[in-house]
Amino acid sequence: MCFEAPSMAMEKYSSFSKSSKQFLLSAPIDKSSNSSDKCCNGRAAKCELVDYDSLPEFLKDNEYILSYYRSEWPLKQTILSVFSIHNETLNIWTHLIGFFIFLMLTGYAASIFPAVSNGDPQLQLSAAGNSSNIFYIHRANQTTEPTASSSSQVIGSELPRWPFYLYLAGAMFCLLMSSACHLLSCHCSKTSYIMLRLDFAGISGLIVSSFYPLVYYTFTCNPFFRDLYLASITFFGLATVVVSLMPVFDSPQFRPVRAVLFACMAASGMVPIAHKMMAFGHRPEAMLTTGYEALMGMFYGVGVVVYAARVPERWLPGKFDLAGHSHQLFHVLVVAGAYTHYLASLVYLGWRETEGC
């Protein structure tokens, strides 16, 4: 994610009541940014990397990263800098590679679980198990045999796949917006403002869409709790996106608040997980998915702590400017957490493909 970027001249936003325009998706004017002639005068001008003290105010965020900054580059050079070395290179590529990984995973999942059920869930589970060995679903492990009516219910109806694919879409949107934000935000203050809002929306989208396979497939047979949990997290996500429209939301001073807000939204998933374990704790699928979710929570939790604390660059300023700083580590942990939830989502989908209600 790119949400550790700019402060829009914080003194202008010390009060939320100065202007209602603060709550709209429009970039405030940053008079301290005058597009100085670092790169914009003539085709022969060289786009140079600058140090932290040379940055306009809207690009100043992490004072422990001292150099290798792009500052107000023309759009063409900004886009082409995806292939050059600077302090955002690994931030861009960690999530861009993650995007392509999830794109391939989506294709792989589509080959196992087509968009429309073909009425032969056992065949699909067998193919999936032979390919990835992630399914812990065997009828021999059940304490009772399924009734004829439940079997016919599975085979005779189409299990919705959209919650599973919604999660994959949410993950890809988050990763792509994060990469684009890190790539383009140095162009100008307006671009930075817009890209940050898209990045915040991507983070919210990843968190919200993560709930859908968990809740929809766990509570397929209990529509009341299914709809209650899904409506709650969707509202929470939309509210977070609205709050993120405030310019103060992307300020460095607001970093801990951002971390806590997104962490709390993700942590609200503990409620349906606890409900799942109370209702289905005897099932191997429930145990396996909860294990995946605990691992996912560990990845995300460590990532949030590293992001908020800005370590290790806090300990050795300037030594991690190009590689190894907190935001890069945060990105890797986000991809790991998202992949872990992908594995859990496959189990959820396979469970309902096999069992029905």
Inter-residue contact 125 to 135 (CB < 8 Å): yes
Q: Are 304 and 259 in contact (CB under 8 A)?
A: yes
Angle ∠(181,185,190) on CA atoms, nearest 5: 115
**b/e map 140-178, b = 16+ CB within 10 Å:** eeeeeeeeeeebeebeeeebbbebbbbbbebbbbbbbbb
Closest by alpha carbon to 88, among 322, 330, 251?
322
Q: ∠ at Cα 210 (307, 226), nearest 5°?
A: 140
Q: With both helix axes pointing from N to C terminus, report the angle between 223-243 and 270-280 in degrees, rounded to the nearest 10.
A: 170
Q: Which two tokens stand for residue 299?
A: 């990845």
d(CA 254, CA 224): 37
Residue 325, annotated ligand binder? Answer: no
**Does the annotation place 86 within a ligand binding site?**
no
The answer to whether 230 and 211 have CB atoms below 8 angstroms apart is yes
Q: Is 331 annotated as a binding residue?
A: yes
Question: Are 265 and 235 in contact, with CB atoms under 8 Å apart?
Answer: no
Q: Which residue has the tokens 């300020």?
A: 251
b/e 114-137 (16+ beta carbons within 10 angstroms → b): eeebeeebeebbeebbeeeebbbb
Sign of the torsion angle spanned by Cα atoms 59, 61, 63, 69: negative
State the DSSP code for 274.
H
Question: How far apart are alpha carbons 153 and 354 in whole angstroms?
Answer: 10
Contact 112, 127 (CB under 8 A): yes
Instruction: State the virtual CA torsion across 202, 198, 166, 329 in degrees, nearest 10.
Output: -30
Residues in the annotated binding site for Zn(2+): 182, 327, 331
Residues in the annotated binding site: 182, 327, 331
